[in-house]
Structure 1
Amino acid sequence: MKILVFEYITGGGFAGQSLPTGLAAEGGQMLQALLHELKALPGIELTVMLDSRCQRPNVLTEAEVVRVNHPDIRTILPKLLTATDCFWPIAPETDGILHTLAEIAAANRTPTLLSDPATLAVCADKLASYRVFCTRGLPAVPTRSLVDDFADWRGRLVVKPVDGVGCEGARLLTAEQFSDWRNRCSDPMRYVVQPYCEGRPSSLSALFAGGRAWLLSVNRQLIEVVDGGFALRGCRVNVAVASRSLYQGWLDQLVVGLPGLFGYVGVDWLETADGGGQLLEINPRLTSSYAGVGQAIGINVAEQVLRCLDGVPESFQTDSQTVDIIFNH
Structure 2
Amino acid sequence: MKILVFEYITGGGFAGQSLPAGLEAEGGLMLQTLLQELKALPGIELTVMLDSRCQRPNVLTEAEVVRVNHPDIRTILPKLLNATDCFWPIAPETDGILHTLAEIAAANRTPTLLSDPATLAVCADKLASYRVFCTRGLPAVPTRSLVDDFADWRGRLVVKPVDGVGCEGARLLTAEQFSDWRNRCSDPMRYVVQPYCEGRPSSLSALFAGGRAWLLSVNRQLIEVVDGGFALRGCRVNVAVASRSLYQGWLDQLAVGLPGLFGYVGVDWLETADGGGQLLEINPRLTSSYAGVGQAIGINVAEQVLRCLDGVPESFQTDSQTVDIIFNH
Q: Equivalents in 2 of 1:259, 1:87: separation in Å?
A: 20
**Could you state the TM-score of these two structures normalised by the residue count of structure 1?**
1.00
Identify the residue that residue 262 of structure 2 maps to in structure 1.
Answer: 262
Spell out, residue by residue over 1:141-164, the C-alpha distance to the aligned partner (whole angstroms, 9 max, x if none): 000000000000000000000000
Identify the residue that residue 16 of structure 1 maps to in structure 2.
Answer: 16
Spell out, residue by residue over 1:63-108, the C-alpha distance to the aligned partner (whole angstroms, 9 max, x if none): 0000000000000000000000000000000000000000000000
Identify the residue that residue 43 of structure 1 maps to in structure 2.
Answer: 43
Spell out, residue by residue over 1:195-252, the C-alpha distance to the aligned partner (whole angstroms, 9 max, x if none): 0000000000000001100000000000000000000000000000000000000000
- Structure 1 residue 190: Cα displacement: 0.1
Aligned to 1:282, the other structure's residue is in SS state strand
Q: How many residues align?
A: 329
Spell out, residue by residue over 1:237-269, the C-alpha distance to the aligned partner (whole angstroms, 9 max, x if none): 000000000000000001111000000000000
- Structure 1 residue 304: Cα displacement: 0.1
Aligned to 1:242, the other structure's residue is in SS state coil
Spell out, residue by residue over 1:5-64, the C-alpha distance to the aligned partner (whole angstroms, 9 max, x if none): 000000000000000000000000000000000000000000000000000000000000
Counterparts in 2 of 1:264-279, with a 5 A limit?
A: 264-279=264-279
Q: Equivalents in 1 of 2:54, 2:328: separation in Å?
A: 17
Q: Equivalents in 1 of 2:171, 2:62: separation in Å?
A: 42
- Structure 1 residue 165: Cα displacement: 0.1
- Structure 1 residue 292: Cα displacement: 0.2
Aligned to 1:54, the other structure's residue is in SS state coil
Q: Equivalents in 1 of 2:254, 2:210: separation in Å?
A: 13
Gaps of 5+ in 2: none
Q: Equivalents in 1 of 2:56, 2:326: separation in Å?
A: 21
- Structure 1 residue 174: Cα displacement: 0.2
Q: Equivalents in 2 of 1:80, 1:96: separation in Å?
A: 21
Aligned to 2:233, the other structure's residue is in SS state strand
Q: Equivalents in 2 of 1:57, 1:247: separation in Å?
A: 35
Q: Equivalents in 2 of 1:218, 1:199: separation in Å?
A: 15
Aligned to 2:154, the other structure's residue is in SS state coil
Q: Equivalents in 2 of 1:326, 1:63: separation in Å?
A: 32
* Structural RMSD (CA): 0.2
- Structure 1 residue 307: Cα displacement: 0.2
Gaps of 5+ in 1: none
- Structure 1 residue 323: Cα displacement: 0.1
Q: Percent identity?
A: 98
- Structure 1 residue 327: Cα displacement: 0.3
Q: Equivalents in 2 of 1:194, 1:210: separation in Å?
A: 32
- Structure 1 residue 281: Cα displacement: 0.1
- Structure 1 residue 276: Cα displacement: 0.2
Q: Equivalents in 2 of 1:146, 1:171: separation in Å?
A: 13
- Structure 1 residue 110: Cα displacement: 0.2
Q: Equivalents in 2 of 1:292, 1:45: separation in Å?
A: 24
Q: Equivalents in 1 of 2:256, 2:318: separation in Å?
A: 25
Q: Equivalents in 1 of 2:85, 2:210: separation in Å?
A: 20
Aligned to 2:78, the other structure's residue is in SS state helix
**Could you state the TM-score of these two structures normalised by the residue count of structure 2?**
1.00
Identify the residue that residue 224 of structure 1 maps to in structure 2.
Answer: 224
Aligned to 1:158, the other structure's residue is in SS state strand
Q: Equivalents in 1 of 2:52, 2:326: separation in Å?
A: 25
Aligned to 1:219, the other structure's residue is in SS state strand
Counterparts in 2 of 1:1-329, with a 5 A limit?
A: 1-329=1-329
- Structure 1 residue 320: Cα displacement: 0.5
Runs of 4+ aligned structure 1 residues displaced above 2 Å come to none
- Structure 1 residue 111: Cα displacement: 0.1
Q: Equivalents in 2 of 1:37, 1:318: separation in Å?
A: 17
Spell out, residue by residue over 1:255-313, the C-alpha distance to the aligned partner (whole angstroms, 9 max, x if none): 11100000000000000000000000000000000000000000000000000000000
